[in-house]
Structure 1
Amino acid sequence: MIKFITASDSFKESLSAKAACQAMTDGIKRVFPEAEVIQVPMADGGEGTVDAILSCIPGEKVEKMVTGPDGRRLLASYGLINDGECAVIETAAASGLGLLAKKGRDPMTATTFGTGELLLDALKRGVKKIIVGLGGSATNDGGAGLAQALGVRFLDKNGQELPFGGGSLDQLARIDASGLAPRLKEVEIILASDVTNPLTGLNGASAVFGPQKGADKEMVQKLDASLHHYAAVIKEQVGKDVENVPGSGAAGGLGAGFLAFSKCQMKAGAQIVIEESHLAEKMRDADYVFTGEGGIDFQTKFGKTPYAVAQVAKKLGIPVFALAGQVGDGIDSLYEAGFTGIFGILPGICSLPEALAGGGGNLARTSENVARVIKAARVNLQ
């Protein structure tokens, strides 16, 4: 029996990773109705990571009221897997840009406190491992909010608590970490991120990611200076130099907060999902692999989900086909990296709303067309 693996990331604003894998499966089944098709939804540490992992591994979602990026309370969730021993948390769930309207975005005051509350809840449940996806944040607070939720106090020269947000960190005079949750020392924390930016500077959190979170040029300069001061105080009082560590600028500096106040390690987000879902094991005797996401271009080889999937398939000698809403420039190098074929799914010129609304049908149709080519090739080889 012929066997396919569908291991797609989400098509943002159109299809979840699970829905994308199902659409691929539907197209394949039109050509090979008796085929075995195993769906392994993928993610890269951003929104959808929890759902992708829970679709492959038995577990549950935990809901909790937390502090959103703008200080208002909201209901957020995270995943528990491996009999409750591992928590999977998305920064986007509690501190995400998607939680705010454009007019409500203010990186000067946005906080990661809610992400810290999710982490604290997981610690109280006795987990031994926490995976944190750092994608999609609305914040630029260097992880100070996260640390505050976990018991750290950030004080000004008068001994007063600093308000939420990166804009106040230039007033930081003293860090009191005496109340830091003691279980942090016992738990393995893995940060899922493809971002290698440092905390500050031209490639830092404020300069690179601040504008998409609502920061103008003046705000970027203010935030960068504040994070520079924050890092200096951490180095002096906590004894950790986090400012120029690759990845410390992820999620508006949340990476730096984890590095300063916990034992953690960073890994590529897609790689973590591949490991947790046991993709290589499921792929081992497959004949073909289908993967994809909203856009594929030369940047895909820099750690994007389809590239990570293709690397697993390449090691096993399995043909892999990538499908995308948009195929951009520079894809020639991807064929050398393990891709057998790369296909755009749009039927022709259409508006963005039309493309997003028709994502499922377009993906299923293109998957069917690829499957038909596979069938014809198999017949010719017989």
Structure 2
Amino acid sequence: MPTLGPHTLRNNLFVAPMAGVTDRPFRQLCKHLGAGYAVSEMVASNAQLWKSEKTMRRANHAGEVEPIAVQIAGADPAMMAEAARYNVANGAQIIDINMGCPAKKVCNVAAGSALLQNEPLVVRIVEAVVAAVGTGPDAVPVTLKIRTGWDREHKNAVHIARLAEAAGISMLTVHGRTRADLYHGEAEYETIAAVKAAVRIPIVANGDIDSPPKAKAVLAATGADAIMIGRAAQGRPWLFREIEHYLKTGELLPPPRIAEIRQVMNGHLEDHYVFYGEFTGVRTARKHIGWYTRGLSGANAFRHRMNTLDTTREQLLAVNEFFDEQEARSERLVYVDDDAPGRDDAPGSREPNRNEPLAA
């Protein structure tokens, strides 16, 4: 089992921090379905924002499976140190520093991946945060997430990794793209492999890991100690279970059936509504519903209708009506005459895959 400071993790499959996505209900669900570790949404280092409803919700870890990891973002070492202390006082057991986010609103204030252009500032921030929470008998591990560089001509991930290790970082996650790449193109794993070869701390590979075979291939190509999955888990939290099983056995689990997707989604929505309340809950759930229903018959029209519903009751009712239709459709597709010629080629001779449109 991988360890991080005093914490033993279930496995080496991590949930990436994603603003507006990896809230407590989603993190809990991913952990329940096989993830060994999850990092919270980004919390700003600006103390003036800590009492805002959004930040307080992001810092809510009540009942969450440990260890509790909180990501902080900012460009001022003293403010980042104070943010680390504040979050540890509020339950964080691991502090993650964001130097990987490519979003303009983050980079425009010289935070996130913009920091990769200023290596001396990277060191000052890491040293300040480690000094604030990462030393002494009650040391809290401090981790860091970066990209491979600022742009294709300025890849400095290996140098940043060495600086971060010397400054006291306990684990480093590398997204295999530059800041300029945003999320375009394919992730470059050779840089992650070079980072792994250059330092002794655990390295986590991130970027474009969307299936069990891809997870195994990335681990092999990079030599990384763990992998981190973000966008591919949206609407597919069972991906962690599938990867865990494949890495252990070499076997691919069958995709979840419609009934299980409904069950997972209902549980997620109920938890989501309790967490956010009526007004915010129904609106923030729309993206999750869109992801869960992606690829199912009639999903586009259903998503448009979903955006017109304003109460959690209406939303949940509509979701279950949609899945009633999916299950009925699935049953109609089952080809029951075993003696019929060409049975193996019949449209219903296999279980419909939720990742592709069901036959018309």
- Shorter chain as denominator, the TM-score bin is 0.3 to 0.5
TM-score (norm 2): 0.38
TM-score (norm 1): 0.36
Higher helix fraction: Structure 1 or Structure 2? 2
Higher strand fraction: Structure 1 or Structure 2? 1
Answer 1 or 2: higher relative contact order, Cα 8 Å, separation at least 6. 1
